[in-house]
Amino acid sequence: MSPSLGTVVITGAAGRIGNVLRHALQDEVRHLVLIDRVPLTAQSPVERVIRLDLADLDAVVSAFEGADVVVHLAGLPDEAPLAELLNANVLGTFHVLEAARRQQVDRVVIASSNRVTGFHPVEKIVNPDDPVRPDGFYGVSKVAVEALARLYADKFALSVVCLRIGSFEDRPDDVRYLATWLSPRDCLGFIRAAMTAPSVPFAIAYAVSANTRRFRDLDAGTQLGYTPVDNADDHAAHVVGADDPIDYSAPQGGRYASPGTTLTHIHGAP
C-alpha cells in the first residue's frame, strides 16, 4: 500500500489482528486512526487513537471523517449469547457501514469468519458461492454481517470486501488448525489485497493459509491480488493428533459445531 492512499481506520485496533496490522502499516499510510473501546496509546506520528463504542453511530461517523479505507475488526470473536453477538457484531457493523457511507469512504474491509460455513463436511472444498452453514451463533452473526455488507454494496455502491478469517495464530497448535490456520504473514497479505484491489464493488474471500489440508477455496483471494505462502503442515510434527485418521464426514467447524458449544449460551437450555 502507498501513503498516497491517505487515511486508514482500524476498528478493534487493540485486538490481536489489529495490533499486528497497525505495526505493519506504519510506513505504508499517511494517517492511521485506531479505534477501540479499550485505551490505546499512539506509538508513531502517523497514529491517532480514538476510544469509542461502535454502538454510538454519531461517534463512529465523526471518527471516520477523512477516511479512505476502513478495516473493521471489532466485535465479539467467539460463541456468545445471541443477543450479545447481534449487538456487538451486527449492529456494530451496521454503524461502520453507515458511517462509511456518510463519509464517502472508498473501501471497507470487514472481518468475517470461516465459521459461516462450519457445518459443511471436511471432505468438501468450500468457496464463497456455496450456501452458508454456520456452526453456531457466532457464525450466524457473521452471516448477517456479510448480508449487511452486500446490502450496502448493492444499494449504496459502497465498495466492501468481506474476509472469512481462518484460525489466526503464530503457528497451528490444534488438529483443526492444520486446515484452517491463517499465519500473521498471510493475514497481512489478505488484508492489504482487500484494501487495495481495484474496482471491487463487493467480494467475499476466505483468508486462510496455503494449508495442504484446507477445505476452503482460495481463488477469490487470488483474484483480489494475494496468494498465501504459509502451510500449516510445516508445523504438523508439533501438533498432537496430526497423524490420526481424518473423519471426512465431520463438520469443518470441529468442536465449534458441537451442540454444547451453543447450548451453554442459551438461558435455561437443558
> Where in the sequence numbering do the catalytic residues fall?
138
The sheet carrying 69-72 orders its strands as 47-51, 31-36, 7-11, 69-72, 107-113, 160-165, 202-207
Query: What DSSP character marks residue 56?
Result: -
| DSSP letter assigned to residue 198 | S
CB 76 within 8 A of CB 85: yes
Task: Name the grid cell of 88.
Answer: 456487538
**Cα–Cα distance for residue pair 46/33, rounded to 1 Å:** 8
Q: Are 133 and 117 in contact (CB under 8 A)?
A: yes
The H or E element containing residue 162 is: strand 160-165
Query: Contact 232/213 with Cβ under 8 angstroms?
Result: yes
In DSSP terms, which residues pair with 72 in a beta bridge? Answer: 11, 110
Burial state string for 39-51 with b = 16 or more CB within 10 A and e = fewer than 16:
ebeeeeebbebbe
Grid coordinates standing for 76? 465479539
In contact, 206 and 164? CB cutoff 8 Å? yes
